[in-house]
Chains A and B, each alone.
Chain A
Amino acid sequence: DGGITQSPKYLFRKEGQNVTLSCEQNLNHDAMYWYRQDPGQGLRLIYYSQIVNDFQKGDIAEGYSVSREKKESFPLTVTSAQKNPTAFYLCASSIGARGSGANVLTFGAGSRLTVL
């Protein structure tokens, strides 16, 4: 079955450590996205990528980094510069690039990061 796989599902980090969240899709989608979700808040865009080797900052990119070396993969690194990293992180993909009509996002199951 096609879909998006995020790992790990739960992750604990000590302050000052960088951590990387994995996101892999086998839907042959061009665009991939990372959103952050906090309790009582909507999804906020961290980074997105429309094609391989290209990505753009979203609304809350500070303290995060990404890469897009393969169409299937879009890992997110939460760096020590992110002051409040405890959150639920969601990866998504879509057929088209930003603004296209068929911009339905398919989401992964999420990764919950807790800073100790």
Chain B
Amino acid sequence: EDQVTQSPEALRLQEGESSSLNCSYTVSGLRGLFWYRQDPGKGPEFLFTLYSAGEEKEKERLKATLTKKESFLHITAPKPEDSATYLCAVSGNTPLVFGKGTRLSVIA
């Protein structure tokens, strides 16, 4: 059974304080690992797809990396507008399986 575990559940940062979110996964035949951002009361918004270990992708202050067992979402010098819940999901032999998310708060 495909599983995704995200940590921490919640993270509070000062503006400019860099940090990382973790996504650990078990999947039969990884076809892709996905990161989404979700604002309160809205649908998730796609950020990145990673397909193989060693792959990295960047978008503004966000950088996603992938190993064979986990993925990290690095946030460099975050701003208050980066506050959101970040969801990780994996695609294997079933439709996307999501983790519970990390709720990020960036304080000015």
Cβ-based interface call for B18 (8 A): no
- Which of the residues A43, A88, A99 comes within 8 Å of B98, measured between beta carbons? A43
Q: How far is the CB of A31 from chain B (nearest CB, A)?
A: 8
Of the four ranges (under 10, 10 to 19, 20 to 34, 35 or more), the interface on chain A belongs to 20 to 34
Given contacts A48-B95, A101-B51, A110-B41, contact A42 B46 (CB under 8 A): no
B interface, over-half SS: loop
The answer to whether A104 touches B34, judged by C-beta atoms less than 8 angstroms apart, is yes
Q: How far is the CB of A38 from chain B (nearest CB, A)?
A: 10
The answer to whether A103 touches B44, judged by C-beta atoms less than 8 angstroms apart, is no
For A41, list chain B residues within 8 Å (CB): 100
- Which of the residues B45, B92, B95 comes within 8 Å of A45, measured between beta carbons? B95
Given pairs A48-B95, A99-B91, A105-B44, 10 additional interface contacts (CB within 8 A): A33-B96, A42-B4, A44-B98, A45-B95, A98-B95, A99-B93, A103-B91, A107-B44, A107-B45, A109-B42
A–B Cβ pairs within 8 angstroms, 12 of them: A42-B100, A43-B98, A48-B95, A58-B95, A90-B44, A99-B93, A99-B94, A100-B31, A103-B32, A106-B46, A107-B43, A110-B43
